A and B are shown apart, each in its own frame.
Chain A
Amino acid sequence: MAEIVSLAEAIAGAVHDGDTVAMEGFTHLIPHAAGREVIRQGRRGLTLVRMTPDVIYDQMIGAGCARKLVFSWGGNPGVGSLHRFRDAVEHSWPGPLELEEHSHAGMANRYVAGASGLPFAVLRGYNGTGLAGPAAGTRASIAEITCPFTGDTLTAVAALRPDVTVIHAQQADRAGNVQFWGITGVQKEAVLAAARSVVTVEEIVDVLEPRPGAVVLPAWTVGYVAPARGGAHPSYAMGYSVRDNDFYVAWDAISRDREAFGRWLAEHVYGKGAA
């Protein structure tokens, strides 16, 4: 049953060293405030799961939180490289980063399987690609499978079952029911696939007004709800904020240089009053 707490309490309660952590949000509603809180609390040895590591995991990888990354597209959208991610893969800085690399369709289906209580999902895909080969860290999560009805050769992908999933939503009510709308991504599946969950929200309201295309997570499917106004920034929350495209562009220079990144962490994550 959802418990409404502060962001610091939610992260301390749900995210532990060595956990497998999924922080989802497909360009929209990325839980950035929660990501900074995980860094601030000094979590280590995490297996980070996310379709698009994006700036949020670039920050967490650079800060030394991650041991392993499970992902499908690691770029800065519309800008270029994720330099902290690349530095970890290419130069093991600040430490080595194990990779398990999929496609978007594979990752999405792995969450669906997790949410469905199934050990795997089936899709047409991966055949002939290097992702299904020995290199990409997918030996335990991609396998060929024969359809028992048609004999077709298909691909099975192992369910994702994170220890904890963290998402950002527009609203929760006082009972902890959660609602988000706009581009809803894979967050519903990621929450339902996980053992624990944290939902940061723009605001707590008396009544959730029905919205077209909205996803509602009933309070009993959610662990912690934490108010975090603007908590998606530099991503956005439709109806509350717009994507800060300038920040994504500025991140290129900040993240390219280890010292500049260290100064950014000191000022915006560890600094007094940083949130």
Chain B
Amino acid sequence: MSGYTADEIMTVTAARALRDRMTCFVGIGLPSEAANLARATHAPGLVLIYESGTIGAKPGALPLSIGDGILAETADAVVSVPEIFNYWLQPGRIDIGFLGAAQIDRFANINTTVIGADYAEPKIRLPGAGGAPEIAASCREVIVIVRQTRQAFVERVDFVTSVGFGDGPGSRRYLGLTGAGPQKIITDLGVLEPDPATCELVLTGVYPGRSVAEVRERTGWDLRVSAGLAEIPAPGPAELAVLRDLVATMPATAAASG
């Protein structure tokens, strides 16, 4: 027994990546928990922006959707949907964007559209893009939170919903993508980061009690390991206490739905 769940160490690891006064584009689920944990601990001035148009939201309870009333009621400003994408996201005003993924590949390209090679006859129809392609393009940095499985970590995604590093070095510049792209992939085993030279994701950190072999086993390509591989510290008691208090504020039905 480690004393914390996989979701908890993922959330705490993501929260630690946020610094005070950053602007952060937040989605629902673990990203929202991480951003609100950071705001409640080391980053009280963190600016939370949800794609529903709520800028500087300060929810006291975790929302179930990006459009919950509590976000609008506590925001510094509420703007229209065209405005949030055109004036706020597109020009690069936002430091960090969080994304999830059904599949992510060696070059951190993300699929949330379809599983299966044929778009017209998908094995699984996923929700689709939402705000993700422009978050991946225009936020200064992107953090991806995704559980590590061979189904999710694939050599090449079935469909490129959001571009990470395309085909490798030079792709982002060629495509005119202004942000730096995914800089951390936080999984339930550890953290992957892009190699600055090759843009390929490499393992840079593992959680206590997790092994490199286990991570490689759950990756669908021949994963490289950083020479500076680090053990990521376990969540501290204070972090866990604040996080659990936050999660307890979620609507009970949402927690039950997993």
Contacts and interface: CB of A to CB of B under 8 A. Distances in A.
A252 B163 CA distance: 30
B169 interface: no
Contacts, number: 186
Interface string A202-222: 000000000001010000000
A108 B90 contact: no
A12 interface: no
Contact of B80 (A131, A154, A184): A184
Contacts of B134: 103-105, 123-125
Contacts of B127: 73-75, 81-82
Interface in A143-182: 152-154, 182
In the A-B complex, the 4 residue pairs with the smallest Cβ-Cβ separation, listed nearest first, are A27-B67, A75-B127, A73-B130, A135-B119
A27 B66 contact: yes
A90 interface: yes
Contact of A249 (B77, B159, B176, B254): B254
15 contacts: A26-B52, A51-B81, A78-B29, A82-B127, A85-B125, A90-B122, A103-B132, A108-B86, A112-B86, A127-B177, A131-B129, A182-B72, A185-B81, A189-B82, A249-B253
Nearest to A85: B125
Contact of A105 (B77, B113, B128, B133): B133
A80 B176 contact: no
Contacts of A215: 80
Contacts of B119: 130, 135-136
A153 B54 CA distance: 30
A261 interface: no
B104 interface: no
Nearest to A215: B80
B159 A130 contact: yes
B28 interface: yes
Contacts of B257: 78-80, 249, 252
B120 interface: yes
A111 interface: yes
B162 interface: yes
Interface stretch (A1-9, A240-248, A263-271): A240-248
A26 B69 CA distance: 12
B131 A104 contact: yes
A236 B65 CA distance: 12
Nearest to A246: B253
B93 to A, nearest CB: 13
Binding site secondary structure of chain B: loop
Given A128-B160, A249-B254, 12 more contacts: A27-B65, A28-B67, A81-B127, A90-B124, A103-B130, A124-B134, A130-B119, A131-B129, A183-B71, A183-B78, A184-B53, A245-B251
Contacts of B166: 128
Nearest to B113: A130
A243 B64 contact: yes
Interface string B198-236: 000000000000000000000000000000000000000
B122 A89 contact: yes
A153 B80 contact: no
Given A124-B138, A136-B119, A245 B171 contact: no
Nearest to B138: A124
A79 B127 CA distance: 12
Contacts of B120: 135
A108 B82 contact: yes
B197 interface: no
A45 interface: no
Contacts of A245: 64-65, 251, 253-254
B69 A186 contact: no
B98 to A, nearest CB: 15
